[in-house]
Amino acid sequence: MSTHEGAIGSGASIAQTTERFAPRSARRIFVIGGIGLILCGMILGDIFAAFILHPNANRIGENLLAATRAVAAHDPRAAGAAFQNIGGLLENRGTKVDAHSHMIGFGYIALLVALLQPYVAFSESVKKFLAKLFLLGAMLLPVGVFLIHYVGMAGSPFAAIGWASVFGDFGGFLVWVVCLCELAGLVKYFRARPAVRASDDFHSDRSWAARTLLSGGTVLVLIGFLHGSYYAGAHLFTYEAKDSELLSVMTTQAAAGDSAAALQAVADYGQLQGAKAVNVAAHAHVIEFGVLAILLAFFQPYVFLSEKWRRIWVVMLLIGSLMLPVFVLLELQWGLLAGGLADVGGLLVIVALFAMLVGIWRYTGKLDSSVGVA
């Protein structure tokens, strides 16, 4: 079987493909923009995890230690200054996490809206405008949020919100407006009751790659839900109580001059924050990767690669999707080894996703001069 036959073996004809997945069509803009957003978000997440997350956590611990020592030395100004630093570090961490997660989330929404395009009853030019507006908002929000820590309140007329935050919120508003418009387009389509309903190859593919991604993705989401339920039921409330208790021990023991007990409480507090972070990260990532796998199942007919390579990328994506959350969860026990293996899992997902993006990009004809592929 030639590469081309393999690539469209699920039944999509070239004519259908050209019509439904034409270069610069709204659907194409959503798909390529969506996968691009997910890739950028994942790469940002990897960089954040490697270079910011751990050093930032260490600095927060050092400042908490400084605050506890200030209490022992009965120096309220030093304690306040330490918390000022912690506030800045938490803002730095929070905005990076928000930029990472919103970029990926918007990528998912873009892929979803791409799937719904045949059922959105607007002209192609309106759809393209909405697609570009969506991508503008989807980029504006994470960039704005990322910059909050650096821009601060400079030149802002508001009491608590800086300019970076204003632009970020505006980006979120644009995405929200586009989603509302797409919903209106869907309602319009179903109200019109067209004589011939749109049929779509995106929804009918039964290839091995699509089936594996669909069932594998659903299982990943289910694992994430089960883990989340277990965490909420068994740990969430106890961790919150422990959090409050340790802060209280830090202050009372330090004020009473028992430095050893206060320092132990700081160390325990750090462990507790680590336990919370790895559980939340594992829960979020396994569900996100499950959703990503299900979404990518729909686009498999248009990944213009041979069947063998499509299968390789599918398997790599699913292995990475399970590896990352499992080893994130093991980070507290295995330390750096687990962290490294989790990063490898993330890298596998990024490589597989990039390969699929290249496969979809090849469908534009930019890389292929004609129907056939060498």
Give the binding site for another protein (CB under 8 A).
67-68, 70-71, 73-76, 78-80, 82-84, 86-87, 90-91, 94, 105, 108-109, 112, 115-116, 160-161, 165, 169, 172-173, 175-176, 179-180, 182-183, 186, 190, 203, 214-215, 218-219, 221-222, 225-226, 228-229, 232-233, 240, 243-244, 247-248, 250-252, 254-255, 287, 291, 294-295, 297-298
End-to-end CA distance of the chain: 12
Q: How far is the CB of 214 from another protein (least distance, A)?
A: 6
Axis crossing angle, helix 163-192 with helix 76-116, rounded to the nearest 10:
20
Task: Give the residue with the Cβ less far from another protein, 50 or 255.
Answer: 255
Nearest-angstrom CA–CA distance, 347 and 45: 11
- Contacts by residues 180-184 (CB-CB < 8 Å, ≥ 24 positions apart): 181/122, 181/130, 182/113, 182/116, 182/120, 182/130
Task: Give the residue with the Cβ less far from another protein, 281 or 287.
Answer: 287
Task: Give the residue with the Cβ less far from another protein, 29 or 220.
Answer: 220
CB 78 within 8 A of CB 63: no
Tokens, residue 156: 């802002």
Residues in the chain: 374
Task: Give the residue with the Cβ less far from another protein, 245 or 343.
Answer: 245
Q: Which region holds residue 74: left if phi is over 0, alpha if psi is between -120 and 50, else beta?
A: left
Q: How far is the CB of 22 from another protein (least distance, A)?
A: 21
Q: How far is the CB of 251 from another protein (least distance, A)?
A: 4
Nearest-angstrom CA–CA distance, 163 and 158: 9
Question: 3-class SS at 198?
Answer: coil
Cα distances from 219 to residues 53, 105, 215, 243, 359, in angstroms, run 29, 20, 6, 33, 25
Task: Give the residue with the Cβ less far from another protein, 24 or 197.
Answer: 197
CB 33 within 8 A of CB 27: no
* DSSP-derived secondary structure letter, 195: S
DSSP string computed for 344-373: HHHHHHHHHHHHHHHHHHHTTTSS-SSS--
Phi, psi of 123 (to 5 degrees): -70, 160
Q: How far is the CB of 54 from another protein (least distance, A)?
A: 22
Q: How far is the CB of 192 from another protein (least distance, A)?
A: 13
Task: Give the residue with the Cβ less far from another protein, 193 or 366.
Answer: 193
Q: How far is the CB of 247 from another protein (least distance, A)?
A: 5
Task: Give the residue with the Cβ less far from another protein, 3 or 68.
Answer: 68
Q: How far is the CB of 256 from another protein (least distance, A)?
A: 9
The two most distant CA atoms of the chain are separated, in Å, by: 82
Q: How far is the CB of 366 from another protein (least distance, A)?
A: 28
Task: Give the residue with the Cβ less far from another protein, 48 or 83.
Answer: 83
